[in-house]
Each structure stands twice: as structure tokens, then as C-alpha cells.
A and B are shown apart, each in its own frame.
Chain A
């Protein structure tokens, strides 16, 4: 069964706006990762945040992790039409050999 739940399931914004996606999980984790998937394509790894980290940045991406609430958020600033894709969080559970469990994903549409 899937551990991660993502919110919202779909998000539509205008170019230039910020997009925030949230992910919640249930078990203890070693790390949490965010991936991007264009329609019908493979996954692109965006960022990994470890359980002892609270925030990480990569370009226009900002990821936060709150282990007390078992939640994470992905913020894309100054969005572009090319950011249109599905975004998934995936958790690597403790004691599971870093096996990933994926959330349901957020479908982001950025309108030009």
C-alpha cells in the first residue's frame, strides 16, 4: 500500500506564480525524495532530504521536511510553463533497505 499522500492532487497556476505541493507519510523514514514525471515519461530525481534535515534548496526548488508531522512540502518558485508535469514524493523507510514508496502525485499545470 502507498505510504505517501500528496496534496493537492492537481494544481493549476499561471506562469510566474509559486506552486506548493505537500506530502504526508506514516512511518519513520531515512529520507524523502521528490521526483518529476512528464506525461508518459520516466522519472527525474529532483531532490533528496534526509530525516535530520529540515530544508533544502535546489535552484527554484525548496523542500521542507517536518518529521514530527511526517510531512514534506515542495515549493517551485517563479513557475514556468515547462514545469508542467506530475510531481511525486517518495519515502525511504527505516529498516527497509532504502526501498522507496511513492505518493499519489500532484499534477501541476502552469499556464503561459
Chain B
């Protein structure tokens, strides 16, 4: 199946710093990428949907100025957590989907963020 990678897999940072997470589709062109957040023992919550070359669509309650998403190419989307705080500590997962009405999303391995 299609492969999606995320980098870094784990990051620890100090409160107030910004963290960038990359999501790459390795063997297909992802016209749409999704960013999810998952707290311990909870389900995935969609944060935003990004289409290549256009602004991301954020879910209700997700601050677009805090979680900056850039989908500059068909194989790369980045999520930047700006001025991170301890409550932003979570597991961030991206997924990617090809074009043409593709039904399946391919998920990355996730990035664990710990803000001290």
C-alpha cells in the first residue's frame, strides 16, 4: 500500500517554542492531507484538511493561527505548532489521499509532541 512518513517521530520542546512536523507521501501524489490529534486513550480528532496549493480548512475549535498548515507540494504538508504549551502535548497524525475520488486515506506513523 501507499506509504506516508512523518518527521520527527518524537519531539520534546520547551514551552513557548514552535515545532514543525512534516508529513510526506512517499510513492503517490497527495492532493489532500489531513491532520489529526490524539490524546492518550482517546480517538483521533480531525484538526484540519489541506489541499495542495490552497489554504487549509480548520475544524471548529482549532486555532488556525496556532496550528499553521502548509501544503506546498503534492507530497509534503507541514504542521507548525506555534508557541507550544504543555496542553499541546499530544500525538499528531497525518494522513494523505490521492485525487480522483480516492476513498482511502493513508496514515503516517504519528509524531509524539511533549511540551515541557
A residues at B contact (CB < 8 Å): 2, 30-31, 33, 35, 40-45, 48, 88, 92, 97-105, 107
Most buried by B among A2, A43, A45, A98: A43
Assembly CA distance A97 to B109 (angstroms): 23
The residues of B that contact A88 with a CB separation of less than 8 Å are 43-44
Q: Are B97 and A42 in contact (CB under 8 A)?
A: no
A103 touches B34 (CB 8 A): no
Between A and B, 14 residue pairs with Cβ closer than 8 Å are A35-B107, A40-B91, A40-B110, A42-B107, A42-B108, A45-B107, A92-B103, A97-B32, A98-B102, A99-B49, A100-B46, A100-B105, A101-B46, A102-B45
Q: Kindly count the residue-residue contacts between A and B in the assembled complex, taking CB atoms under 8 Å apart.
A: 57
Interface extent on B, as a size class? 20 to 34
Given contacts A30-B103, A48-B103, A92-B103, contact A104 B108 (CB under 8 A): no
